[in-house]
């Protein structure tokens, strides 16, 4: 039999065997190796020995190498199957969404305000600078009221500054030190179901929004201030939230309440005079 016929025959038999193995999800490598053995020894009735010894030797050499490759492939697949069987899925520990956000959110600018006890005196910047010699400071400015405003790069610097100023006698004796509190953001929730009272609204939000619930359980703020129903309009609620809760809500601009998806948007109070258009 010519060489190309031997290889063609072998390829078709191996291909059919592999397809059967995939369909039946069984290990058919032994069947393939038995087929190679039959072809190599000439015991298969489907193969006729060629009359040319050189062609026969060349064909058997190619079949032997192919059988070796198949045997190596079977060993590799067996080892892989053992690794897959020995693999144990490790369940990750529960981590709050707030922890993930805090670890990836940069610190915001913080402020400390220093007032003099005597309104007719100016803050002593030399004593304040001496007390804060190890605390990173962004800048120190005096506002229109004559108070000294200290800008710090992050929350840790703010706490260190408050501690350092509170233990300095030169500062405490003539100054009042306080942390500048930022106003918390407010959000308007639209299309609130009319049968929900203000006291029930927070719990309804926690029930349908697990991420917000985890944040509140971790110490973040979500407080319902009031609700109102405009004339010929749907009920809306105004809530005060911490910056982290606000960021989470505004990523989807919606909250799930009962069987509804209620839209949300930031609530701002813009001051302007009567001459502004």
Lowest mean pLDDT among 16-30, 72-86, 97-111, 261-275: 16-30
CATH code of the region 186-266: 3.30.70
Q: What is the dihedral of CA 47, 52, 57, 60, to 10 degrees?
A: -10
pLDDT of residue 276: 62
Give the pLDDT confidence of 45-54 residue by residue, as tens digits: 444 444 456 6
The pTM assigned to this predicted structure is 0.42
pLDDT at residue 121, as a whole number: 84
Q: Quick check: 8 pLDDT over 80?
A: no
Task: Indicate if the pLDDT at residue 58 is higher than 60.
Answer: yes
pLDDT score of 31 more than 60: no
Q: Which residues contact 12 (CB under 8 A, 6 or more apart)?
A: none
Reported as a single tens digit per residue, the pLDDT across 177-223 is 888 877 788 999 999 998 898 889 999 999 999 999 999 998 889 99
What is the band of 25 on the pLDDT scale with cuts at 50, 70, 90?
A: very low
Q: Which CATH number applies to 99-179: 3.40.50.1820, 3.40.50.720, 3.40.190.10, 3.30.70.260?
A: 3.30.70.260
What tens digit of pLDDT does each residue of 131-174 get? 999 999 988 888 888 888 898 888 888 889 988 998 888 888 88
Return the structure tokens found at 122.
Answer: 């100016």
* Domain locations in the chain as residue ranges: 3-86, 99-179, 186-266
Q: Inform me whether the pLDDT recorded for 43 exceeds 50.
A: no
Q: Would the CATH topology of 99-179 be identical to that of 186-266? A: yes
Q: Considering the chain, what is the average pLDDT of its residues?
A: 75
- pLDDT confidence of residue 7: 46
Better pLDDT: 206 or 102 = 206
pLDDT for residue 17:
46
Total residue length of the chain: 277
Map tokens 């109070």 to a residue.
269
CA distance 102 to 113: 26
Per the model's pLDDT, the better-predicted residue between 91 and 183 turns out to be 183
State yes or no: pLDDT of 251 exceeds 80: yes
Tell which wins on pLDDT, 119 or 14.
119
């Amino acid at each position: 039999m010519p060489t190309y016929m031997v290889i063609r025959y072998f390829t078709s038999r191996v291909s059919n065997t592999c397809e059967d193995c995939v369909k039946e999800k069984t290990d058919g490598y032994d069947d393939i190796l038995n087929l190679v053995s039959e072809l190599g020894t000439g015991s298969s009735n489907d193969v006729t020995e060629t009359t040319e010894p050189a062609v026969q030797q060349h064909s058997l050499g190619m079949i032997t190498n192919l059988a070796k490759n198949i045997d190596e492939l079977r060993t590799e697949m067996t080892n892989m199957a053992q690794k897959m069987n020995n693999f144990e899925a490790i369940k990750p520990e529960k981590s709050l969404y707030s922890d993930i956000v805090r670890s990836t959110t940069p610190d915001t600018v913080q402020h400390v305000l220093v007032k003099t006890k005597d309104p007719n005196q100016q803050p002593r910047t030399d004593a304040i600078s001496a007390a804060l010699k190890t605390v990173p400071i962004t800048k120190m400015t005096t506002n229109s009221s004559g108070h000294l405003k200290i800008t710090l790069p992050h929350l840790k610097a703010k706490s260190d500054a408050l501690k350092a100023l509170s233990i300095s006698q030169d500062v405490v004796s003539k100054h009042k030190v306080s942390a500048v509190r930022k106003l918390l953001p407010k959000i308007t929730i639209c299309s609130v179901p009319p049968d929900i009272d203000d006291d029930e609204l927070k719990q309804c939000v926690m029930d349908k929004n697990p991420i917000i619930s985890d944040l509140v359980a971790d110490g973040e703020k979500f407080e319902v201030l009031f609700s109102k129903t405009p004339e010929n309009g749907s009920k809306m609620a105004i809530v005060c939230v911490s910056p982290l809760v606000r960021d989470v809500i505004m990523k989807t601009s919606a909250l799930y309440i009962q069987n509804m998806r209620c839209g949300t948007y930031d609530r701002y109070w813009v001051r302007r005079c009567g001459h502004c258009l």
